[in-house]
Structure 1
Amino acid sequence: MAITAQMVKELREMSGAGMMDAKKALTENDGNMEAAIDWLRTKGLAKAAKKADRIAAEGLVGVAVVGGKGVAVEVNSETDFVAKNADFQKLVSSITAAALNTATVEELAAADMGGKSVDDAITSAVAVIGEKLSLRRMELVEGDTVASYVHNAAADGMGKIGVLVAVKGADNGIAKQIAMHIAATAPLALSEADLDPVLVERERAVQTQKALEENETAAKPKPAAVIENNIIPGRMKKFLEENTLLGQKFVMNPDITVGQAAKDAGVEVTAFKRVAVGEGIEKKEEDFAAEVAKTLAG
């Protein structure tokens, strides 16, 4: 497969690797981007790449909680200017309120909102606001108590990141603190049992290959048993601690984990959702100078 300059550029942005290393990684893996990232990581040339690093779309996340139910809704716009628009914010607020009576984004799109469906309301808003708008997703959390947190708030109940946390037991404020923690750390799952097994095995493969290659160049190579029984389990334990909510060090008190903080507060975290605007959407690259020139020429 031919390796293009654009592919090398994209891999460099995703991994932080140098140009020649990125090109070699793509060449060695026949242009497969994910495999190239893993190859770079085994060589110690890249960080773990997260799709969330490629956030691009604009808009707002609205959150609302009533009793033991919380919803988070993402509504996208083309530019960040619209996110600051009062009409757009009113639209997001109304859609979020309607979401409390639905269970899926499909139900929400068809739900009544002032005499018209949410879908139709968005279509009408496009004509007023002047940009393409879209209802992208909705997340739902239920529990004895649900707490919410909005990061980078643009208005009450909406911002760039919305978090919901459900706990079992009498909440004394710890749920809100955990929601703030989630906004900052973006855990992949609640616990080890909730992690995607494919993701875990992929990480294990990367760490195993990396350890073997490091061992080959070490001044005093370690026995294979040490790598298999000590080094790899140690690295996987760290991976799980960093990527599962209950295993992470609590930002409010790094001496304990989130799981321990919840236990000390007499509650059990049963679910969470973190929604960031544009998460996982790759933004179209635009040449601003060319765009200006095109406008002037027109």
Structure 2
Amino acid sequence: MAKISAKLVMQLRDKSGVGIMAAKKALVESDGDMDKAMDLLREKGMAKAAKKSGKVAAEGLTAIEVEGNNAVIVELNSETDFVAASDPFKQLLSKLAKLLVEKQPADVATAEELSFDDGTSVKQALATTTQQTGEKISIRRFEIVKKNDGDHFGPYLHQGGRIASLVVLEGADDATAKDVAMHVAAINPEFMTKDDVPADRLAHEKEVFKQETLNEGKPEKIVDRIVEGRLNKFLSEICLADQDFVKDSDKTVAEYVASKDGKLKSFVRYEVGEGIEKKQSDIAQEVQDQLK
């Protein structure tokens, strides 16, 4: 049997919202497999599906730059929020966003070889800012987004750049696109429509809902109908088009955009450090103490 560490229990507790002992029991039953443990908790009705599992975040900021029919969304990382709030860091991020939307490099490695107007390469600028701040500064990721003449960009930064969202609408107007970008930042959709959800993901979720429904003791003849309803509700929570619009819950996002003579085309959402793991502090010890 795999050793169940306090750190693993803490991660499942944070992801599922269940108590420490319930998290530990699920990990023991699943032999330390986080995904299987999460499914076990869901089947028992103890946890909801996580839309996007993010590990503990690193620090930094995001930025969006729009130039004509081109835009870029970029994340620059530091080691602490103190450095991310510093002038050298913010100045580099601003210059970087402008350069990226102008040159449109294919990837981070290519971007680092680009040069600013003063002849300094991006790689050199990263090294200089690292020396100035005393922390490693690095480009995490970026995405170039394009639109047609009749489309509209909706850029939005939340919490000073901790979260960034960039939406493209076909038709409508800039104000509507901005509203949808704010929704994306707040609600964090995973897909644009139900058709974008991979078949294996649908099959997995359907099986979990089936086991959950059977465990509740529902009559077998109505299980499929209940599962279908739960699956549709789950999809409406993770797909942008079908989510209730935050500024008008009587409409879905797609319906709101349609009411403005527009159509959803694409979205990108960045949250600083999502998926990056950094050192844990005394919380792990707190969990360890409770498991003794």
The reply to whether residue 167 of structure 1 matches residue 169 of structure 2 is yes
| Aligned equivalent of 1:227 | 223
Are the aligned partners of 2:170 and 2:264 in contact in 1 as well (CA < 8 Å)? yes
| Aligned equivalent of 2:290 | none
| Aligned equivalent of 2:41 | 40
Ranges of 4+ aligned residues in structure 1 off by more than 4 Å = 50-53
Equivalent positions of 1:124-203 (< 5 A) are 124-143=128-147, 144-153=151-160, 159-171=161-173, 173-203=175-205
| Aligned equivalent of 2:70 | 69
* Distance across 2 between alignment mates of 1:13 and 1:249: 26
CA RMSD across the alignment: 1.9
Instruction: Give the TM-score taking structure 2 as reference length.
Output: 0.89
Letter in 1 for 2:5: T
| Aligned equivalent of 1:80 | 81
Q: Give the match's secondary structure for 1:164.
A: strand
- 1:189-236, Cα deviation, whole Å (9 max, x unpaired): 111122233332222121111011112xxxxx42x23211x1111111
Change (3 A) 1:179 1:55: farther
- Please list every run of 5 or more consecutive structure 1 residues that lacks an aligned counterpart in the other structure: 154-158, 216-220, 291-298
Q: Give the match's secondary structure for 2:25.
A: helix
Q: Give the match's secondary structure for 1:116.
A: coil
* Distance across 2 between alignment mates of 1:102 and 1:275: 18
Letter in 1 for 2:114: A
Are the aligned partners of 1:67 and 1:146 in contact in 2 as well (CA < 8 Å)? no
Are the aligned partners of 1:141 and 1:272 in contact in 2 as well (CA < 8 Å)? no
* Distance across 2 between alignment mates of 1:9 and 1:146: 40
* Distance across 1 between alignment mates of 2:181 and 2:210: 34
| Aligned equivalent of 2:13 | 12
Q: Give the match's secondary structure for 1:74.
A: strand
Letter in 2 for 1:226: I
**Per-residue deviation at 1:103?**
4.3
Instruction: Give the TM-score taking structure 1 as reference length.
Output: 0.87
Q: Give the match's secondary structure for 2:162.
A: strand
Letter in 1 for 2:208: V
Are the aligned partners of 2:38 and 2:47 in contact in 1 as well (CA < 8 Å)? yes
**Per-residue deviation at 1:152?**
1.0
* Distance across 2 between alignment mates of 1:180 and 1:82: 26
**Per-residue deviation at 1:286?**
2.8
Letter in 2 for 1:18: G
| Aligned equivalent of 2:240 | 245
- What is the percent sequence identity of the aligned residues? 40
* Distance across 2 between alignment mates of 1:172 and 1:20: 49
* Distance across 1 between alignment mates of 2:35 and 2:85: 36
Are the aligned partners of 1:145 and 1:167 in contact in 2 as well (CA < 8 Å)? yes
| Aligned equivalent of 1:22 | 23
Change (3 A) 1:75 1:109: same
